[in-house]
């Protein structure tokens, strides 16, 4: 399973919104973080911000992959804006544990992204766990 869809309408800097769906498996995470970095590059983020986003997406995906129902999908949406990108990652999880329960991983994630929110909601007898993060070229280093 690997699906990529792009928005019909072009967003900022000629970049479209992208939806990617892969197996919720650790080996797919590098693919998603490369997607993130490539989009940020085309949005003309500064190189530090690109690298921060790459690592933040890696961490968010890793947190979710660990919680995912085996064999299920990891859905990742990239929504580019002017000077900002929103990344939404979600999985069907085996339990209702929020990603922030992993103190170290959450720490890293919230340090690297400008804004991070998590959501756990019941879905079809299981749980849907979502992380949404925003990042921009000001990066975490806005003076």
Partner 1 sequence: MSTREDAARDKEARDAADIARFRRLAELDPADPARAALRGELVADHVDLARNLARKFDRRGDQLEDLVQVATIGLIKAVDRFEAERGNFYAFAIPTIMGELRRHFRDTGWAVRVPRQLKELHVTVAAGRNELSQRLGRAPKPSELAEHLGLTKEQVYEALVASAGKQGTSLDARLSEPSGDRFGYEDERLAEVDNRRALGPLLAELPEREQRIIVLRFFRGLSQADIARRVGVSQMQVSRLLAKTLERLRAALGEDTLAG
Binding residues for partner 1 (CB under 8 A): 25-27, 30, 34, 38, 41-42, 44-49, 51-52, 55, 65-66, 102-104, 107-108, 111-112, 137, 139-141, 143
Q: State the pairing for strand pair 115-123/73-81.
A: unpaired
| Minimum CB distance to partner 1, residue 77 (Å) | 22
Residue 90 or 136: which CB sits closer to partner 1?
Answer: 136
For residue 95, report the phi and psi dihedrals to the nearest 5 degrees. -140, 170
Residue 8 or 27: which CB sits closer to partner 1?
Answer: 27
| Minimum CB distance to partner 1, residue 15 (Å) | 12
CA 29 – CA 61 distance, rounded (Å): 6
Residue 27 or 82: which CB sits closer to partner 1?
Answer: 27
Residue 54 or 88: which CB sits closer to partner 1?
Answer: 54
| Minimum CB distance to partner 1, residue 124 (Å) | 23
| Minimum CB distance to partner 1, residue 90 (Å) | 18
Q: Contact 56/81 with Cβ under 8 angstroms?
A: no
Question: Is the CA virtual torsion 5, 114, 41, 59 positive or negative?
Answer: negative
In the sheet with 16-23, reading across from the earlier edge strand, the strands are 2-10, 16-23, 73-81, 84-93, 126-135, 115-123
């Amino acid at each position: 399973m690997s699906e990529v869809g792009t928005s019909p309408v072009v967003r900022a800097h000629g970049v479209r919104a992208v939806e990617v769906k892969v197996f919720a498996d650790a080996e797919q995470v590098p693919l998603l973080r490369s997607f993130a970095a490539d989009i940020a590059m085309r949005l003309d983020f500064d190189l530090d911000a690109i690298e921060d986003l790459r690592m933040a997406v890696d961490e968010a995906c890793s947190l979710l992959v660990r919680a995912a129902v085996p064999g299920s999908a990891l859905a990742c949406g990239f929504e580019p804006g002017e000077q900002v990108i929103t990344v939404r990652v979600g999985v069907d999880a085996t339990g209702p544990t929020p990603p922030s329960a992993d103190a170290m991983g959450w720490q890293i994630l919230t340090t690297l992204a400008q804004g991070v929110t998590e959501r756990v909601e019941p879905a079809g007898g299981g749980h849907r766990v979502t992380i949404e993060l925003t990042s921009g070229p000001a990066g975490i280093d806005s003076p």
